[in-house]
Copies of this chain bind each other. A is one copy, B any other.
Amino acid sequence: MGGDRGPRCIVPAALRSLSLYPSLHITLVGAADIVEPLLSDAVVASDRLSFRPAREQILADDPPASVLRGKRDASMRVALELVRDGQVDGCLSAGNTGALMVLARAVLGTLEGIRRPAIMAALPVSGRLCHVLDLGANVDCPAEQLVEFAIMGAAAAAELSGNPAPRVGLLNIGSETHKGNRQVRQAAALLQVCPAINYVGSVEGDGLFRGEADVVVCDGFVGNVLLKASEGVAGYLQAELRSAVADSWLLRWLAPLVLDVTRRTRERHDPARYNGASLLGLRGVVMKSHGSADEEAILAAIGHTFKACQARLPERIAGRVRECGAVL
Contacts and interface: CB of A to CB of B under 8 A. Distances in A.
Interface of A: 63, 125-126, 136, 139-140, 171, 173, 178, 180-182, 184, 204-210, 218-222, 224-237, 240-241, 244-245, 247-248, 250-251, 254, 257-258, 261-262, 264-266, 268-269
B139 A225 contact: no
A264 B47 CA distance: 57
| A204, A207, A233, most chain B CB atoms within 10 A | A233
A204 B264 CA distance: 25
Contact of A265 (B221, B226, B241): B241
Closest 7 CB pairs of A and B: A205-B228, A209-B232, A205-B229, A206-B232, A139-B181, A173-B224, A206-B228
B232 A180 contact: no
A105 to B, nearest CB: 17
B181 A140 contact: yes
Contacts of A234: 233, 237
A98 B219 CA distance: 24
Contact of A226 (B208, B225, B261): B225
Contact of A258 (B140, B178, B258): B258
A227 to B, nearest CB: 7
A106 B210 CA distance: 37
Contact of A268 (B204, B240, B257, B264): B240
A180 to B, nearest CB: 7
B237 A269 contact: yes
Contact of A206 (B139, B173, B235): B235
Contacts of A205: 224-232
A219 to B, nearest CB: 8
A217 to B, nearest CB: 12
Nearest to A251: B261
A225 B265 contact: no
Contact of A244 (B182, B231, B262): B262
Given A226-B226, A251-B254, 19 more contacts: A125-B236, A171-B225, A173-B220, A181-B221, A184-B221, A206-B229, A221-B222, A222-B222, A229-B233, A230-B233, A233-B233, A234-B237, A237-B265, A237-B269, A240-B269, A244-B264, A244-B265, A248-B261, A251-B261
